[in-house]
Amino acid sequence: MSVEKPSVSQELWTDFFAGSRLACARLISVVENSPQAIPEVLDRIIPRQKGGIRVGVTGPPGVGKSTVTAALARRAVQAGRKVGVLAVDPTSPFSGGAFLGDRVRMQRLSDDHQVFIRSMASREGHGGLSPATPYAADVLDAFGLDRIFIETVGVGQSELDVMSSADLVVLVLQPGTGDVIQALKAGIIEAADLFLVNKSDLQGTETLLDSLRFLMEIGGGPRRKSLPPVIQASALQDRGLDEAFAEIERLVSGLVASGLFLEKRRARLESEVRAAIGRELWDKYAALTNAGEVIPAVVGRLLERRRSPYPYIREAVSRVRILIDEERGPREEPQ
């Protein structure tokens, strides 16, 4: 039997576990560029994770997410945390202007404060590949970081997916963007654990606070057990960020103490495991059958309203059963 060549060399693993930041960056590149290597990487790193907290920082373009993230990261370092920042660059026209400033600010944070910083492309629109960001966070966790900030623009589905992998979500808004709230993915408002009204040095803060209150009254919905805290800040004037950081730490302790933290992670990981089984079964089925050719024909008949796809789907499921039987694998569930 041929043994597949590992995607990560032993040398890279040794350097990574010895704490080399360069090795850590290279390992993130592996999960970003070689999705097929992800299972191998997870096998090695999961036993080394310590449960670092993932704090999502999201919001409309230009509201100050990077400035806020840098300020929070600095405070986390001062509080003795080992800190990482993953900035998901949406490769959208919005980010063009701020990027240079971002780079300079982030570089300083990295040099002065030993924060591990990494910018990643969001893959939305590139063949629907799922972004590697949650796996990059797994890598940082195994690297020994205990506060991992993940910045994304809260406008697309892939950003929403990234945020649902965070333990806690900070939604950043600024005055004058009341209408922008409408453009955010609805799920992001629901997922927010903390509203941070940034740029409160600008006019219109009260109006924004009013529309937030209104939004929460009408849209809080039954899924909300309590309204999330709202903090006013100005990252430019360095105001409100001590409060924001303290609130995040308070929320983290509350989530851990109440068990909600674990519950959220459990639910997310269960659906990940289910999805992974689905993907593996599909890959096996697709490799052993001509599904790739048949499905377009099935869909063609469906589009013409000639035939339901379900006879085909039932047939496919029974084929899978036969294929599995033929493999004569162990009958018991693996542990």
Ligand X SMILES: Nc1nc2c(ncn2[C@@H]2O[C@H](COP(=O)(O)OP(=O)(O)OP(=O)(O)O)[C@@H](O)[C@H]2O)c(=O)[nH]1
Residues at the interface with Mg ion (CB under 5 A): 65-66
From Mg ion, ligand X, none, which one binds at residue 236 (CB under 5 to 8 Å depending on kind)? ligand X
Nearer to ligand X, 102 or 247 (CB): 102
Directed axis angle between helix 38-45 and helix 21-33, to 10°? 140
Residue 151 CB, shortest distance to Mg ion, in Å, is 6
- List the beta bridge partners of residue 273: none
- List the beta bridge partners of residue 119: 87
Residue 263 CB, shortest distance to Mg ion, in Å, is 31
Nearer to ligand X, 23 or 118 (CB): 118
CA angle 276, 130, 197 (to 5 degrees): 120
Nearer to ligand X, 102 or 167 (CB): 102
Residue 172 CB, shortest distance to ligand X, in Å, is 7
From ligand X, Mg ion, none, which one binds at residue 202 (CB under 5 to 8 Å depending on kind)? ligand X
Nearer to ligand X, 19 or 101 (CB): 101
Q: Choose, by CB under 6 A, the member of 7, 35, 40, 94 that binds ligand X.
A: 94
Nearest CA among 86, 171, 188 for reference residue 132: 86
Give the C-alpha separation, 305 to 299, whole Å: 9
From ligand X, Mg ion, none, which one binds at residue 263 (CB under 5 to 8 Å depending on kind)? none
- Decide if 61 contacts 158 (C-beta within 8 A): no
Q: Choose, by CB under 6 A, the member of 133, 158, 205, 234 that binds ligand X.
A: 234
Residue 170 binding ligand X, by CB under 6 A: no
In three-state secondary structure terms, 248 is helix
What DSSP state is assigned to residue 94? Answer: G
Instruction: Count interface residues toward ligand X (CB under 6 A).
Output: 20
Q: Choose, by CB under 6 A, the member of 77, 121, 209, 236 that binds ligand X.
A: 236
Tokens of 180: 């922008």
Nearer to Mg ion, 38 or 169 (CB): 169
Residue 85 binding ligand X, by CB under 6 A: no
Residue 62 binding ligand X, by CB under 6 A: yes
* CB half-sphere exposure, 273, CA atoms < 13 A: 6
Q: Which residue has the tokens 């966070």?
A: 137
HEC string of 289-326 equals CCHHHHHHHHHHHHHCCCCCCHHHHHHHHHHHHHHHHH
From Mg ion, ligand X, none, which one binds at residue 198 (CB under 5 to 8 Å depending on kind)? ligand X
Residue 61 CB, shortest distance to Mg ion, in Å, is 8
Amino acid letter for position 68: V
Label the pairing between strands 147-153 and 83-89. parallel
Residue 67 binding ligand X, by CB under 6 A: yes
* Distance set, CA 291 to CA 252, 279, 323, 324 (Å): 46, 14, 14, 17
Nearer to Mg ion, 67 or 165 (CB): 67
Nearer to Mg ion, 23 or 120 (CB): 120
Q: Choose, by CB under 6 A, the member of 122, 158, 177, 198 that binds ligand X.
A: 198
Q: Choose, by CB under 6 A, the member of 16, 32, 66, 131 that binds ligand X.
A: 66
Q: Choose, by CB under 6 A, the member of 98, 215, 316, 323 that binds ligand X.
A: 98
Q: Which residue has the tokens 């639910």?
A: 267
- Decide if 85 contacts 149 (C-beta within 8 A): yes
Residue 133 binding ligand X, by CB under 6 A: no
Give the C-alpha separation, 300 to 145, whole Å: 50
